[in-house]
Chains A and B, each alone.
Chain A
Amino acid sequence: MAEATAAAESAGAPATEGRVPLRVTGVAKRFGSTEALRDCSFELRAGEVHAILGENGSGKSTLVKILAGVHRPDEGVLELDGVEQNRIRSPRASIRAGIVTVFQEVLVVGQRSLLDNVWLGADGLVRKHRSQAEKRQRARAVLDRLLEEVPDLNEPVKNLPLSLRQACCVARALLWEPKILVLDESTSALDVATRDNLFTILNELRAGGRSVVFISHRMDEIEEIGDRVTVLRSGVSVATLDRGAATARELVELMTGREHLVTERREHDARERVRDQIVLRTRGVRVRPGAAPIDVEIRAGELVGLAGLEGHGQDRFLRILGGVAAPEEGEVVCTTRGEAVITSARDAVRQGVTYVPRDRRTESVFESRSVLDNFGLPTQDRDRRAGIIVSRKTERRFREYVDMLHIVFGRGRNLITTLSGGNQQKVITARWLAANPAVLLLNDPTRGVDIGAKHDIYRVLVDVARSGVAVVMLSTEVDEHVELMDRVLVFREGELAAEIPRGEATRRRLVANFFGERHDG
């Protein structure tokens, strides 16, 4: 209900004061079967920092790419200063129109110098618009403002640490002196000092009547810098609020919707489900050099959540558990069948530890292969008869998971890409369930997946845990931890910051731990 009123407010609010440098109305974009953005509207005023807030997969990045000229919307209108735009067909055109974007990915050309990267795209193909001396001087001026210490401008960017590379992208955008600056999660890789400097610069831009579209996961940043917030949920802009008009808690509710994620909570279920037997243990595992070692024990039948802000080590920790990444120090011991140290992914699977990767497209899905092939690859030896893989056997094995996970698909021999994102994820989950794991590691399995598919995956995870499998799952959605997990491990700066048991895990406490704030009730 709350979001309905809020949406009504935003729709009704007249653009009273000043110019509207950018108005987005009813923008939608689909990729194949995925609706990335369904109905997004908001307006950006002159001299404001406008935050866009939404879960993973809510369409933020698609919105950014439309603003940046990477994609063209299927429906809807972009207006710049009241003039409808249909010429923004490339990033170059977008930049010319005064919109400059800093993308989530750190987009630098590694072999080129810092100076070249800061000025990337600024020259034409024929003529250089500025002298080398001027470039050098202005680059230094901008970098001086952003960084405590400016590295050699001739240094190839590939030799710089991530934070500096991201700063290079920000500096590149600032040098365009944009009317509208779009920052897509651009602060996540910056170190604290640089981020503070950036905020000072943003304040100046705002004072100078320029506008900023600011996208961040971090509620504290949005509270610090955002004038207004537009909340996106499942590709729809559900509300635009002024600063301070909603508490963090209310914003989270707007982002996630109010319904409970897990349909039936099994409060008492955990006691009988979680067994005494320890299946996986880490001994002095360091995720980063210099970080405190992590010792964790995971029991059969347990649901363990890994949480934290993006890039705080939980991802790496999960990969270490699965033998996919090596720890800086320490070891992972699997105790399903005696004691065995896991040193490789192959090792891990042999011990019954399977890892479901995060990024479907680059790490899981074989786009040119069929549904059945995608399901059966790691376990195909079971379908062999005299060396020949009998696809009927694969199909029979798959059938079990189709029912369990409610996988919707045409035929097993259809391409996996004919399935929706959620169903693709279910096939990948089935792939690894079929390996009969004792420990199932999942890296954000519900990322970009619709709510129905999410429920199916939750239900199966609980069922699997009940049968004695330990489930360790990294999730970027706080609610999943609150409602699903027996125990949540919160990571901060490469260290295990807190271990929160079920019952004590509230949204507030988790989020507080993300930011390293003390829990004060």
Chain B
Amino acid sequence: MASQSLTLPFVGAAWRDRILDGLRDNTYVFALVLTVALIIANTAVLPAFASWSQVPSELGTLAPFALAAMASTPAILSGGGGIDLSIAPLMGLVNIILVTGLLSHGLGNPAIAVPLLLLLGGVIGAVNGVLVGILRYPPVIATLAVYFVLGGIDLRLAPDPVSTNPNWTNQLASTLWHVPGTIFTVGVVLLLWFFFRRTAYYGALFAVGDDDVAAFASGVNASVVRIVAYTLGGVLAAVAGIALTGTIQSADVTVWPFYVLIALAAVALGGTALTGGRGGFLGPALGATCVYLIQNLLSALGIDVFYVQVAFGAVLLVAVVGGAFLGRTAQRPRGAG
């Protein structure tokens, strides 16, 4: 099995290798190409899609997808089978608390509400992080348990949907100061991500995610790195919950379950390896955009909604298997290799 591609003939081989390397290193390329293609297809089918009046609300619907996917990312990047299943119920919790607890009690002022909700998200994320990073629970199990607990709390707080009066969150899903409100959610997070890449923590996160043993032995505090990763995920889930409130303008426990698996799928579609240590926020955001655009396109074409699921699953399989196929030259040794 080993090194079969080392003897590609002719000059073209160098280029081919370079292209393959480029695809391997920039794993989001597939999602990017797919996004562009889907935007073109959407516009062709429904010219109004690209009209300026539509874009802010389209972006508003996209925002919870993209943010849920980005919130799932730090846990995955931190490696060791890292995953956070509790992102979606946390979004639900933030949505419910914002609507029933804050907006309806005069605490809706964003200057009060936003820091409170981000803090809540961070604390819950930190609980996940401690379970994984210090108590050594397998991440799937730890976050599944937290998923159940949060889901139960959501249901207790808002057994029935509660709609809300007009409020500032609506602007996040439409326009705020003449620009799409999504700029202030997804846009800000992406911008912060580019600054984040310059921090010391960024390097530690990727080192731990790729090889926790090597990082630990070199003096990186792997436990703390993982706790911080889950905490970041929790904070982002809170942002996602606020963006969700913006689009649905109500507290509704039937909405968040939709994001549980979609978020993970978007991450995988965006080319982030679920084994950790590779990727970023751009991939998940693009992956989420693909999911949204597929949905939009098929419904614009009047295709049965169930084909959306088929298409979505198929695209996901093609993306991950294709990605794995590309990565095979660098694969780990197999059983009898």
A contacts B directly in the complex (CB < 8 Å)?
Answer: yes
Residue contact A121 to B201, C-beta cutoff 8 Å: no
**Who on chain B is nearest to A319 by CB?**
B336
Contact (Cβ within 8 A) B200 A128: yes
| Cβ B217 vs Cβ A110 within 8 A | no
Q: Is B216 an interface residue (CB 8 A)?
A: yes
A12, CB-defined interface residue at 8 Å: no
Q: Which residues between 174 and 207 of chain B lie within 8 Å of chain A, taking CB atoms?
A: 199-201, 203-204, 206-207
A66-92 interface code vs B (CB 8 A; 1 in, 0 out): 001010000000000000000000111
Q: Give the residue of A92, A94, A128, A158 whose beta carbon is less than 8 angstroms from that of B221.
A: A92
A121-180 interface with B by 8 A CB criterion: 121-129, 158, 172
- Picked from B201, B211, B219, B228, the residue with its CB within 8 Å of the CB of A108 is B211
> Interface digits, A96-114 against B, CB 8 Å rule (1 contact, 0 not)?
0000010100011111100
Q: Is residue A325 within 8 Å, beta carbon to beta carbon, of the partner chain?
A: yes
Chain B residues 199-234 with CB under 8 Å of chain A are 199-201, 203-204, 206-207, 210-211, 213-221, 224-225, 228
How far apart are the CA atoms of A109 and B206 in the complex, in Å? Answer: 9
Q: Which chain A residue shows the least CB distance to B278?
A: A111
Residue of A nearest to B206 (CB): A112
A344 within 8 A of B: yes
A125/B221 contact (C-beta < 8 A), A110-B210, A158-B330 known: yes
> Is B12 interfacial (CB-CB < 8 Å)?
no
Distance in Å: Cβ of B212 to nearest Cβ of chain A: 9
**Nearest A-chain residue to B212, judged by Cβ:** A109
**Is there an interface contact between B210 and A111, defined as CB atoms closer than 8 Å?**
yes
Identify which of B204, B216, B217 gathers the most chain A CB atoms within 10 Å of its CB. Answer: B217
A95-B219, A109-B277, A111-B278 known; A123+B211 contact, CB < 8 A? no
Within the complex, the shortest CB–CB distance from A96 to chain B, in Å, comes to 8
- Shortest CB-to-CB span from A303 to chain B, Å, is 26
Verify if B106 is at the interface (C-beta below 8 Å from A).
Answer: no
Give the distance in Å from the alpha carbon of A95 to the alpha carbon of B217 in the complex.
10
> Per-residue CB proximity of A223-240 to B under 8 Å, as 1/0?
000000000000000000
Q: Which of A125, A126, A172 contacts B218 (CB 8 A)?
A: A172
CB contact under 8 A between A107 and B211, given known A91-B216, A116-B203, A125-B204: yes
Nearest Cβ distance between residue B171 and chain A, in whole angstroms? 34
* B contact residues around A325 at 8 Å (CB): 337
Question: Cα distance A344–B2 when bound, in Å?
Answer: 14
Q: What is the size, in residues, of chain B's interface with A at 8 Å between Cβ atoms?
A: 27
Residues of A contacting B225 with CB < 8 Å?
Answer: 125
- B336 and A344 contact, CB distance less than 8 A: yes
Instruction: Tell me the dominant secondary structure on chain A's binding face.
Output: loop
Q: Assess whether B201 is in contact with A126, with CB atoms less than 8 Å apart.
A: yes
- Any B CB within 8 A of the CB of A280: no
CB-nearest residue of chain A relative to B208?
A109
- Count of A-B residue pairs with CB < 8 Å: 78
Bound state CA distance, A116 and B207, in angstroms?
9
CB distance from B227 to the nearest CB of A (A): 10
Contact B200 A109 (CB under 8 A): no
Q: Are A91 and B200 in contact (CB under 8 A)?
A: no
Which residue from B199, B210, B217, B228 sits with its C-beta under 8 Å from A91? B217
Q: Which residue of B is nearest A110, CB measured? A: B210
Is the pair B214, A127 in contact by a Cβ cutoff of 8 Å? Answer: no
A474 → B minimal CB distance (Å):
18
Instruction: Report the bound CA distance from A387 to B225 in whole Å.
Output: 51
Point out the residues of chain B lying under 8 angstroms from A326, CB to CB: 2
User: How far, in angstroms, from A95 to B225 measured CA to CA in the complex?
Assistant: 18
The reply to whether A109 and B204 contact each other, CB–CB distance below 8 Å, is: no
Task: Verify B203–A112 contact, CB threshold 8 A.
Answer: yes
CB distance from A139 to the nearest CB of B (A): 14
**Please, what's the 1-or-0 string for B30-54, where 1 marks a CB less than 8 Å from any CB in chain A?**
0000000000000000000000000
Whether the pair A120, B214 counts as a contact (CB closer than 8 A) is yes
Contacting residues, chain B, for A205 (C-beta < 8 A): none
A residues within 8 A CB of B330?
158
Query: Is the CB–CB distance between A92 and B213 below 8 Å?
Result: no
- Tell me which residues across on chain B come within 8 A of A172, comparing CB atoms: 218
Report if A478 contacts B (CB, 8 A): no
| A124 touching B200 in the complex, CB below 8 Å, given contacts A108-B211, A158-B330, A324-B336 | yes
Cross-chain contact A121 with B215 (CB below 8 angstroms): yes
Closest to B214 in A: A107
A68: which B residues are within 8 A, CB to CB?
A: 217
Q: How far is the CA of A183 from the CA of B200 in the complex (A)?
A: 27
**A402 CB within 8 Å of chain B:** no
Most buried by A among B214, B219, B220, B330: B219
A103 touching B337 in the complex, CB below 8 Å, given contacts A125-B201, A125-B225, A126-B201: no
Residue on B with the closest CB to A119?
B203
Bound Cα distance from A158 to B225, whole angstroms? 23
Question: Does B207 lie within 8 Å of A109, measured CB to CB?
Answer: yes
Contact A108 B214 (CB under 8 A): yes
Q: Is A20 an interface residue (CB 8 A)?
A: no
Determine the chain B residues whose CB is within 8 A of the CB of A107 once the complex forms: 211, 213-214, 217-218
Contact between B336 and A103, CB atoms less than 8 A apart: no
Tell me, in angstroms, the Cα distance from A128 to B197 when the chains sit together: 12
Query: Which residue of the partner chain A has the closest CB to B201?
Result: A125
| Chain A residues, Cβ within 8 Å of B199 | 128
Q: Does A345 contact B (CB under 8 A)?
A: yes
Chain B residues in 8 Å Cβ range of A112: 203, 206-207, 210
A497 to B: closest C-beta gap in Å:
25
Bitwise, A464-482 to B at CB < 8 A (1) or not (0) is 0000000000000000000
Besides A70-B217, A120-B203, A326-B2, 4 more A-B contacts (Cβ < 8 Å) are A91-B218, A94-B219, A109-B207, A345-B336
The 7 lowest CB-CB distance pairs between A and B, nearest first, are: A121-B219, A121-B218, A107-B214, A123-B200, A92-B219, A120-B218, A128-B200
18 A-B Cβ contacts within 8 A? A91-B216, A91-B217, A91-B219, A94-B219, A107-B211, A109-B206, A109-B210, A109-B211, A109-B215, A111-B206, A112-B203, A112-B210, A116-B207, A120-B203, A120-B218, A120-B219, A125-B201, A128-B199
Chain A contacts to B: CB under 8 angstroms? 68, 70, 90-92, 94-95, 101, 103, 107-112, 116, 120-129, 158, 172, 324-326, 344-345
